[in-house]
């Protein structure tokens, strides 16, 4: 049975070049980047080379790149590292749980938190952020691209709001990495977090842009790694892999790859929407198309339990994810779709298709063979299944 993976927003496979770049750093160049001897120097050089690449990727200075364990650590660091009781924090209702749960925790500790709701299109209005500012506001955190809808947020305008107010600005750019060109100067952010595994790098490693002078407190203390901004022996193979992945991502941003992915996504979307009782979540504001990343579409299917559709598709060789949170035991339909104003039934009836940049026409063909059949099967079986939600 052919298997097609359309869940790139969950994770991506290593590209062969990334695997090759990492290979020497497990056994041959195994040194600790903090050591004085040759082994240490080799490791240090590799980390620094990756730092240079990431600086180019972010458009910042190398000294402003901090390596860490991934997106969750970056998001947590921004929030726990800057906010103190009495501060005010503005973020949005559609953030990843790495931001939202961290916000819950600082709220318990006496930070005032404002969650900005998106418009039905999935966009955050910078004016809503500006309207929420208070004298005590210390940090604004907004994602670059939403993991479920792919909608790109107007971070530049939000950066201007932050600059005018003299407030720190963090961008959770995990879902934007490799999909849009980064420029932290243009974004006007002080902090920006990415994760390697969302752009064909290894899991368990990420990076954060920390603008010079940002008074962020390290979550982990110990050695003086990463200019005292993140203690812990550097994950050298992981960092090398992240560097290579960032280098390849910059090439893909220039060579037309994303146009090709967008064309595949658009065809997938267009063909699926031929099914009655379907629609795209977000991405449109009346006649105006809201900018989205190239690889993502979130589609609802009336009279279908998304959970069952995800399972049925998996058993037929198509890997996608549903409109609910990732883990077993979750009770609520997607907080992102709910915040956009969908009702529970429709949120639960939604699927996310997110294409790898290596996706092919044949992948889309296979998905288009399987999805309509599975949807019709589900609808025929339980025309009232939507009644379970509500």
Partner 1 sequence: MINEQTTIAVAMSGGVDSSTVAAILAHSGEQVVGLTLQLWDQTRLAGRHGIPDAPKAGRCCSLDDVYDARHVAEHLGIPYYVVNQEERFEQDVVRPFVREYLAGRTPIPCSLCNDHLKFDQLLKTARSIGASRIATGHYAVNEYDAGRKRWILKRPADLTKDQTYFLFGLTQEQLAHTLFPLGRLTKPEVREVARKYGLRLAEKPDSQEICFIPGGDYKSFLAAYLEEQGEKAPETAGELVASNGEVIGHHEGIFNFTVGQRKGLGVASPSPLYVLNIDPASHRVTVGADAELASRTLRARRLNWISIPALTGPIRVRAKIRHRHEPAWATLEPAGPDEAMATFDEPQRAVTPGQSAVFYDGDEVVGGGWIV
> Could you say which DSSP state residue 117 is in?
P
User: 123-131, long-range: CB within 8 Å, 24+ apart, which pairs?
Assistant: 123/151, 123/153, 123/154, 123/282, 123/285, 123/290, 124/92, 124/94, 124/153, 124/154, 124/158, 126/154, 126/157, 126/158, 126/160, 126/161, 129/90, 129/158, 129/161, 130/161, 130/165
The answer to whether residue 224 forms part of the interface with partner 1 (CB under 8 A) is no
Of 18, 98, 158, 312, the one binding partner 1 by CB under 8 A: 312
CA distance 224 to 129: 36
CA distance 73 to 71: 5
Choice between 132 and 389, CB closer to partner 1: 389
Choice between 248 and 378, CB closer to partner 1: 378
Choice between 189 and 299, CB closer to partner 1: 299
Beta bridge partners of 168: 139
Q: Please give the size of the binding site for partner 1, defined by CB under 8 A.
A: 23
Stretch that binds partner 1, among 92-100, 179-187, 306-314, 362-370 (CB under 8 A): 306-314
Contact yes or no for 157/144 (Cβ under 8 A): no
Considering the complex, what minimum distance in angstroms separates the CB of residue 317 from partner 1?
A: 8
Contact yes or no for 204/69 (Cβ under 8 A): yes
Of 273, 311, 326, 362, the one binding partner 1 by CB under 8 A: 311
Considering the complex, what minimum distance in angstroms separates the CB of residue 7 from partner 1?
A: 15
Choice between 46 and 299, CB closer to partner 1: 299
Catalytic sites, residue numbers? 326
Considering the complex, what minimum distance in angstroms separates the CB of residue 113 from partner 1?
A: 22
Considering the complex, what minimum distance in angstroms separates the CB of residue 58 from partner 1?
A: 38
Of 16, 166, 213, 390, the one binding partner 1 by CB under 8 A: 390
Task: Measure CA 29 to chain center.
Answer: 31
The answer to whether residue 97 forms part of the interface with partner 1 (CB under 8 A) is no
Choice between 166 and 390, CB closer to partner 1: 390
Contact yes or no for 60/184 (Cβ under 8 A): yes
The answer to whether residue 362 forms part of the interface with partner 1 (CB under 8 A) is no
> Could you say which DSSP state residue 386 is in?
G
Of 308, 318, 340, 367, the one binding partner 1 by CB under 8 A: 308
The answer to whether residue 385 forms part of the interface with partner 1 (CB under 8 A) is yes
Question: Which of the residues 137 through 156 are near partner 1 (CB under 8 A)?
Answer: none
Considering the complex, what minimum distance in angstroms separates the CB of residue 322 from partner 1?
A: 10
Choice between 78 and 337, CB closer to partner 1: 337
CA distance 315 to 309: 10
Considering the complex, what minimum distance in angstroms separates the CB of residue 304 from partner 1?
A: 9
What sign results for the dihedral spanned by CA atoms 35, 36, 42, 46?
A: positive
The answer to whether residue 375 forms part of the interface with partner 1 (CB under 8 A) is no
Choice between 256 and 390, CB closer to partner 1: 390
User: How does strand 112-116 pair with strand 4-5?
Assistant: unpaired
The answer to whether residue 15 forms part of the interface with partner 1 (CB under 8 A) is no
DSSP string, 126-157: HHHHHHH--TTEEEEEEESB-TTT-BBP-HHH
Please measure the distance between the N-terminal and C-terminal CA atoms of the chain and give it in whole angstroms. Answer: 36
For 41, 51, 261, 294, the CA distances from 3, given in Å and listed in that order, are 43, 36, 18, 22
Of 224, 285, 360, 388, the one binding partner 1 by CB under 8 A: 388
For 281, 300, 311, the CA distances from 387, given in Å and listed in that order, are 21, 16, 19
Of 48, 112, 358, 382, the one binding partner 1 by CB under 8 A: 382
The answer to whether residue 324 forms part of the interface with partner 1 (CB under 8 A) is yes
Question: Which of the residues 246 through 305 are near partner 1 (CB under 8 A)?
Answer: 305
Considering the complex, what minimum distance in angstroms separates the CB of residue 316 from partner 1?
A: 7
Considering the complex, what minimum distance in angstroms separates the CB of residue 378 from partner 1?
A: 5
Interface positions with partner 1 (CB under 8 A)? 1, 305, 307-309, 311-312, 314-316, 324, 328-331, 377-378, 381-382, 385, 388-390
């Amino acid at each position: 049975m052919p298997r097609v993976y359309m869940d790139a927003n969950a994770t991506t496979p290593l590209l062969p070049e990334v695997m090759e770049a990492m290979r020497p750093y497990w056994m041959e160049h195994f040194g600790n980047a903090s050591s004085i001897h040759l082994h240490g120097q080799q490791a240090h050089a590799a980390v620094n080379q990756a730092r240079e690449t990431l600086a180019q990727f972010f458009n910042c200075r190398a000294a402003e790149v901090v390596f860490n364990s991934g997106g969750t650590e970056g998001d947590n660091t921004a929030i726990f590292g800057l906010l103190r009781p009495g501060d005010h924090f503005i973020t949005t209702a559609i953030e990843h749980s790495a931001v939202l749960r961290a916000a819950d925790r600082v709220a318990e500790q006496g930070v005032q938190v404002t969650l900005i709701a998106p418009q039905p299109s999935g966009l955050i209005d910078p004016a809503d952020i500006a309207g929420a500012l208070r004298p005590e506001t210390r940090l604004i955190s907004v994602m670059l691209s939403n993991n479920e809808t792919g909608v790109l947020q107007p971070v530049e305008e939000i950066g201007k709001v932050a600059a005018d107010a003299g407030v720190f600005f963090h961008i959770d750019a995990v879902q934007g990495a490799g999909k849009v060109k980064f420029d932290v100067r243009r974004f006007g952010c002080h902090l920006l977090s990415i994760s390697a595994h969302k752009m064909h790098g290894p899991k368990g490693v990420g990076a954060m842009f920390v603008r010079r002078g940002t008074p962020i407190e390290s979550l982990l203390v110990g050695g003086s790694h990463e200019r005292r901004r993140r203690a812990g022996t550097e994950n050298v193979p992981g960092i090398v892999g992240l560097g290579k992945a960032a280098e390849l991502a910059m090439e893909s941003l220039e060579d037309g790859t994303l146009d090709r992915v967008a064309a595949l996504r658009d065809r997938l979307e267009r063909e699926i929407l031929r099914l009655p009782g379907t629609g795209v979540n977000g991405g449109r504001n009346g006649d105006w198309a809201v900018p989205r990343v190239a690889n993502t579409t979130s589609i609802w299917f009336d009279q279908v339990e998304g959970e069952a559709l995800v399972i049925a598709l998996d058993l037929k060789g198509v890997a996608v994810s549903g409109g609910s949170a990732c883990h077993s035991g979750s009770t609520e339909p997607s907080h992102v779709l709910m915040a956009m104003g969908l009702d529970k039934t429709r949120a639960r009836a939604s699927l996310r298709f997110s294409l790898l940049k290596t996706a092919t026409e044949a992948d889309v063909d296979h998905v288009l063979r399987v999805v309509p059949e599975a949807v019709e099967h589900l609808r025929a079986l339980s025309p009232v299944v939507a009644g379970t939600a509500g």
